[in-house]
């Protein structure tokens, strides 16, 4: 492996990038503009409110206190229903996607805890499976609230359980959900356009032919370009997060899965760009080819609109798109902090990455016919 | 000994001659008695040969873009591959540079079979591809450093900049350079590894005459530095000005090969010395008495056929000795354009079809 070449080529990429106002614009200023515009749109409308149906079967002082806390969460609108109501029928009739049922033995189990620390009680969380975005959000909020509640009651031991959900910040706004989608979308566009344009332009300018006559391997060339593309991905991502935090007070988590998904996404869409670049010979058609791939994916993969709002057949289409798994993986890693789902979506992202990148590397051709 | 068929430019009969590989001999046509020079092809020693191509073919479907060509390039010479657009020049040079895969045939560079060991050769060659454009946002200096870093073997970048006359442009971005400067940078890039062989694929296409001349001087300078240059061009003047050896390619086949003088003597018409506006009577008889073939033309002009260049001095000496009064003297000989026209029935500038 010629490390000197990789270093030289990486420096070339960064220098050329810094000297191109247009490219710098698309990498930095465009995401900034997007987040400022969408931030302004969604922050003006205030926090999104979600309806939560609550049925208190216990009807005790303790359970009423618990409901009172739920009512104080600004993002939730609590709809209390009678104990005689069938909760699932009510949800169906009233078109509600989420409900929480407090069991009859709620106060009894809580009081029992102070005698026997093994005692615990589970709340039942009813969800409409077709409304994944909304239920995910509310589940995260209740998990956070339960975490605080358990902390106050037992200094950490779980007395009241729900699902294995982690806590979530309570100042939760739409922009928090928007940011992971925007990161995925930005990486996708810069990787796909970058790959296609590089391949077509370098082919047209004879640079690929020139490299064929020089002591550089295709693997070294692709690796150096990937390092440069990763550099661009992280620049875009951190600009989005930084501006989001400073301007809109984003409430997100950065963890190892975030990095894994960002790196995989960069390789995945570069691979896809290489595959397209193999078939697009003209520089002029590169933009069209890139647009043909990125625009449908942007709208169908739940980048700006929740998947739940789309017809069933489009949701099925979305589940075939790699960007959907990137968006959901990033949301679960950065917002929901749901390890199971994060692993699930990250697994798909890694699988797509392997397929596209390996196919891209093998299909990229330097030699002329 | 090798044998070679040659076509007589006068009677167009083909005759077979024998000689040593690389040898140049004077031959006479057995049909009409016309004479000329013949250089025998065939492999010379590896010590002298930079590139050797044998029976090279490139077939696309039913089209033979390159059709069974063989030639060799000697070390230290400028070899021009001359032909119209679409004749197969770039396909050939790109097969030699291992950019394209030949359908059949063997290529050796500096004794190495490139099918087997092109990686060994890469350090020893420099390439300027056709219509090459470098990275727009690097300066000339940065561009040369970038390409230099890809090789183990390096030339001094500063001396390349000076020798290519790029000193005043070294800090300019590549995208801001003129066409001529870009081509000079392209040649400079091909030299960053101090190559033994430099491939230049149509280096002056699209340049204005002044810029073309500047690039020619750069290429001529490469020969002085001992480099072997493989030049493809469709400009007849470029081959005439630069090349030590010329191969003319037409429709994928080499139709003539040799030095400029050899090609002219083999395929060109005879040279004519024209005495313009000759006022002295009897001049024609005087020249004929010295064995010259003389014709009269209009406006008092006299045309004298030149068999070989030494006879020009003889004519001038006679004219001076006989105090012949005339306006000017003009000597005209065939050029490559005429030779191409004669061999193919088409002009170089008209393309291959």
Residue B319's domain is classified under what CATH number? 3.30.70.270
Select the highest-mean-pLDDT range: A38-42, A306-310, B117-121.
B117-121
pLDDT at position A66: 85
Q: Quick check: B125 and A213 CB within 8 A? A: yes
| Measured CA distances, B88 to A232, B59, B82, B96 (Å) | 42, 11, 10, 12
Answer yes or no: is pLDDT of A309 > 90: no
Contacts of B28 (CB under 8 A, 6+ apart): B34, B35
Tokens standing for residue B131: 């219509």
Dist. CA B335–CA B337, nearest whole Å: 5
Dist. CA A177–CA A141, nearest whole Å: 13
Q: How do beta strands A50-56 and B302-306 pair?
A: unpaired
Q: Quick check: B135 and A16 CB within 8 A? A: yes
A47 neighbors A75 (Cβ within 8 angstroms): yes
Q: Are residues B17 and B53 in the same domain?
A: no
Q: Are residues B318 and B236 in the same domain?
A: no
User: CB of A369 within 8 Å of any CB in chain B?
Assistant: yes
DSSP labels for B70-121? Answer: EEEEETT-EEEEE--TTSSHHHHHHHHTTSB--SEEEEEETTEEHHHHHHHH
Query: Pick from B130, B142, B151: which is nearest to A206 by CB?
Result: B130
* Closest residue on chain A to B114 (Cα): A213
**B16 falls within a domain:** yes
Q: Quick check: A206 and B150 CB within 8 A? A: no
Please count the CA atoms within 13 angstroms of the CA of A12 that sit on its side-chain side: 25
A198 neighbors A277 (Cβ within 8 angstroms): yes
**What is the number of domains present in chain B?**
3
Residue A26 banded pLDDT, cuts 50, 70, 90: low
**B44 falls within a domain:** no
Residues of chain B in contact with residue A20, where contact means CB-CB under 8 angstroms, are 137
User: CB of A212 within 8 Å of any CB in chain B?
Assistant: yes
Length of chain A in terms of residues written: 369
How many helices and strands, by DSSP H and E, does chain B display? 11, 18
Answer yes or no: is pLDDT of B259 > 60: yes
Q: Please tell me the distance in Å from B139's CA to the nearest CA on chain A.
A: 10
Contacts of B13 (CB under 8 A, 6+ apart): B7, B29, B30, B31, B32
Q: How do beta strands B112-113 and B125-128 pair?
A: unpaired
Contacts of A132 (CB under 8 A, 6+ apart): A307, A308
Which range (B70-79, B158-167, B306-315, B318-327) has the least confidence? B306-315
B187 neighbors B171 (Cβ within 8 angstroms): no
B6 neighbors B22 (Cβ within 8 angstroms): no
Answer yes or no: is pLDDT of B344 > 70: yes
Dist. CA B138–CA A272, nearest whole Å: 28
**B351 falls within a domain:** no
Residues of chain B in contact with residue A368, where contact means CB-CB under 8 angstroms, are 94, 99-100
| Burial of residue A190, with CB atoms counted within 10 A of its CB: 0-12 exposed, 13-18 middle, 19 or more buried | buried
Q: Quick check: B136 and A16 CB within 8 A? A: yes
pLDDT at position B64: 93
Q: Quick check: A19 and B123 CB within 8 A? A: no
Select the highest-mean-pLDDT range: A12-16, A36-40, B271-275.
B271-275
Q: Please tell me the distance in Å from A306's CA to the nearest CA on chain B.
A: 41
Dist. CA A271–CA A355, nearest whole Å: 8
**B344 falls within a domain:** no
Tokens standing for residue B130: 């056709």
Look at phi and psi of residue A355 and say left if phi exceeds 0, alpha if psi is from -120 to 50, else beta.
alpha
Q: How do beta strands B112-113 and B63-74 pair?
A: unpaired
Mean pLDDT of chain A: 80
Dist. CA A309–CA A323, nearest whole Å: 17
Q: Which helix (H) or strand (E) holds B125?
A: strand B125-128
Q: Quick check: B150 and A8 CB within 8 A? A: yes
Preferred mutation among B91, B115, B135 to probe A, highest tally of A CBs within 10 A: B135
Contacts of B241 (CB under 8 A, 6+ apart): B216, B220
Assign A230 to helix, strand or coil.
helix
CA neighbor of B53 nearest in space, from B12, B105, B131, B128: B105
Dist. CA B184–CA B178, nearest whole Å: 10
Task: Give the domain-ending residue among B213, B238, B266.
Answer: B266
Mean per-residue pLDDT, B175-202: 93
* Closest residue on chain B to A215 (Cα): B122
Domain extent listing, chain A? 3-43+173-363, 50-161
Q: Quick check: A368 and B136 CB within 8 A? A: no
Q: How do beta strands B271-276 and B197-201 pair?
A: unpaired
Task: Give the domain-ending residue among B222, B243, B266.
Answer: B266
Q: Are residues B79 and B7 in the same domain?
A: no
Tokens standing for residue B17: 């001659």
Q: Quick check: B100 and A368 CB within 8 A? A: yes
| Burial of residue A3, with CB atoms counted within 10 A of its CB: 0-12 exposed, 13-18 middle, 19 or more buried | exposed
Among all chains, which residue has been given the structure tokens 């056929």?
A: B305
**B339 falls within a domain:** no
Answer yes or no: is pLDDT of A130 > 70: no
Tokens standing for residue B91: 């396909």
Mean pLDDT of chain B: 87
Residues of chain B in contact with residue A213, where contact means CB-CB under 8 angstroms, are 97-99, 122, 125, 127, 129, 199
Q: Which domain holds residue B275?
A: 270-332
B28 neighbors B12 (Cβ within 8 angstroms): no
CA neighbor of B174 nearest in space, from B205, B204, B143, B202: B143
**B84 falls within a domain:** yes
Q: Quick check: B97 and A212 CB within 8 A? A: yes
User: CB of A214 within 8 Å of any CB in chain B?
Assistant: yes
Q: Quick check: A213 and B98 CB within 8 A? A: yes
Please count the CA atoms within 13 angstroms of the CA of A163 that sit on its side-chain side: 19
The class level of CATH for A50-161 reads alpha beta
Q: Are residues B113 and B212 in the same domain?
A: yes
Assign B68 to helix, strand or coil.
strand
Q: Are residues B324 and B189 in the same domain?
A: no
Length of chain B in terms of residues written: 353
Q: Are residues B129 and B187 in the same domain?
A: yes
Dist. CA B2–CA B107, nearest whole Å: 21
pLDDT at position B195: 94
Q: Quick check: B94 and A16 CB within 8 A? A: no
**B85 falls within a domain:** yes
Q: Which helix (H) or strand (E) holds A287?
A: helix A286-300
- Stronger pLDDT, A96 or A341, i.e. the higher one: A341
Q: Are residues B243 and B285 in the same domain?
A: no
CATH of the domain at B134: 3.40.50.300
The pLDDT tens digits of the residues spanning A196-245 come to: 888 888 888 999 899 999 998 888 888 888 889 999 999 999 998 898 88
**B91 falls within a domain:** yes
CA trace torsion A199, A9, A359, A203 (10° rounding)? 20
Dist. CA A240–CA B287, nearest whole Å: 92
Assign B295 to helix, strand or coil.
strand
The pLDDT tens digits of the residues spanning B266-322 come to: 888 778 899 988 888 888 889 999 888 898 887 888 999 887 777 888 899 998 888
- Stronger pLDDT, A18 or B255, i.e. the higher one: B255
Q: Are residues B182 and B70 in the same domain?
A: yes
Contacts of B339 (CB under 8 A, 6+ apart): B248, B256, B263, B264, B267, B268
Q: Please tell me the distance in Å from B241's CA to the nearest CA on chain A.
A: 27
């Amino acid at each position: 492996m010629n490390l000197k070449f990789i270093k030289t080529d990486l420096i070339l990429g960064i220098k050329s990038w810094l000297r191109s106002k247009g490219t710098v614009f698309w990498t930095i200023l465009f995401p900034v503009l997007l987040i400022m515009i969408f931030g302004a749109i969604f922050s003006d409308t205030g926090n999104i409110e979600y309806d939560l149906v609550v049925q208190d079967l216990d009807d005790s002082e303790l359970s009423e206190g618990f409901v009172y806390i739920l009512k104080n969460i600004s993002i939730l609108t609590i709809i209390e229903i009678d104990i005689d109501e069938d909760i699932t029928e009510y949800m169906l009739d009233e078109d509600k996607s989420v409900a929480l049922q407090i069991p009859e033995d709620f106060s009894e189990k809580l009081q029992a805890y102070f005698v026997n620390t093994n005692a615990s009680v589970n709340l039942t969380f009813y969800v409409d499976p077709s409304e994944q975005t909304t239920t995910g959000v509310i589940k995260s909020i209740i998990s956070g609230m339960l975490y605080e509640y358990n902390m106050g009651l037992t200094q950490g031991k779980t007395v009241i359980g729900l699902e294995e959900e982690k806590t979530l910040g309570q100042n939760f706004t739409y922009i928090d959900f928007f940011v992971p989608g925007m990161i995925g979308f930005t990486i996708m566009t810069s990787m796909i356009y970058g790959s296609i344009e590089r391949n077509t332009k370098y082919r047209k300018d004879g640079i690929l032919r020139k490299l064929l006559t020089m002591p550089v391997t295709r693997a070294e060339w692709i690796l150096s370009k990937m390092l440069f593309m990763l550099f661009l991905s992280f620049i875009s991502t951190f600009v989005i997060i930084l501006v989001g935090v400073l301007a809109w007070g984003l409430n997100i988590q950065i963890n190892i899965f975030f990095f894994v998904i960002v790196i995989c996404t960069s390789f995945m869409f570069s691979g896809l760009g290489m595959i397209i670049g193999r078939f697009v010979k003209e520089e002029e058609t590169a933009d069209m080819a890139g647009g043909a791939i990125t625009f449908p994916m942007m709208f169908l993969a739940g980048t700006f609109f929740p998947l739940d709002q789309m017809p069933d057949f489009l949701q099925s289409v979305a589940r075939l798109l790699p960007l959907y798994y990137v968006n959901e993986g990033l949301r679960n890693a950065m917002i929901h902090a749901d390890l199971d789902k994060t692993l699930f979506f990250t697994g798909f992202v890694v699988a797509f990455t392997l397929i596209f990148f390996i196919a891209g590397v093998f299909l990229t051709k330097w030699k002329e016919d | 000994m090798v044998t070679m068929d040659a076509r007589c430019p006068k009677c167009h009969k083909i005759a077979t001659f024998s000689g040593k590989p690389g040898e140049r001999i004077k031959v006479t046509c057995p049909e009409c008695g016309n004479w000329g020079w013949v250089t025998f092809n065939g492999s010379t020693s590896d010590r002298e040969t930079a590139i050797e191509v044998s029976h090279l073919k490139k077939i696309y479907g039913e089209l033979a873009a390159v059709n069974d060509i063989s030639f060799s390039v000697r070390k230290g010479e400028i070899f021009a591959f001359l032909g119209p657009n679409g004749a197969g020049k770039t396909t050939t040079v790109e097969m030699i540079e291992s950019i394209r895969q030949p359908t059949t045939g063997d290529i050796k560079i500096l004794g190495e079979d490139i099918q087997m060991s092109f990686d060994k050769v890469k350090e020893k060659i420099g390439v300027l591809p056709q219509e090459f454009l470098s990275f727009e946002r690097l300066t000339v200096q940065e561009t040369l450093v970038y390409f230099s870093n890809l090789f183990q073997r390096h030339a001094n970048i500063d001396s390349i900049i000076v020798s290519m006359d790029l000193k005043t442009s070294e800090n300019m971005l590549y995208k801001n350079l003129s066409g001529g400067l870009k081509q000079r940078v392209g040649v400079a890039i091909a030299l960053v590894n101090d190559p033994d062989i430099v491939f230049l694929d149509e280096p002056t296409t699209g340049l204005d005459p002044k810029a073309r001349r500047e690039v020619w001087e750069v290429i001529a300078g490469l020969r002085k530095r001992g480099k072997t240059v493989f030049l493809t061009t469709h400009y007849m003047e470029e081959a005439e000005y630069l090349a030590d050896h010329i191969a003319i390619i037409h429709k994928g086949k080499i139709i003539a090969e040799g030095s400029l003088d050899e090609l002219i003597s083999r395929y060109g018409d005879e040279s004519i010395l024209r005495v313009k506006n000759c006022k002295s009577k009897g001049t024609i008889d005087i020249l004929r008495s010295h064995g010259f073939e003389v014709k009269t033309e209009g406006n008092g002009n006299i045309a004298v056929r030149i068999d070989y260049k030494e006879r020009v001095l003889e004519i001038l000496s006679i004219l001076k000795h006989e105090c012949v009064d005339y306006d000017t003297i003009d000597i005209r000989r065939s050029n490559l354009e005429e030779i191409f026209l004669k061999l193919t029935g088409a002009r170089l500038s008209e393309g291959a079809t």
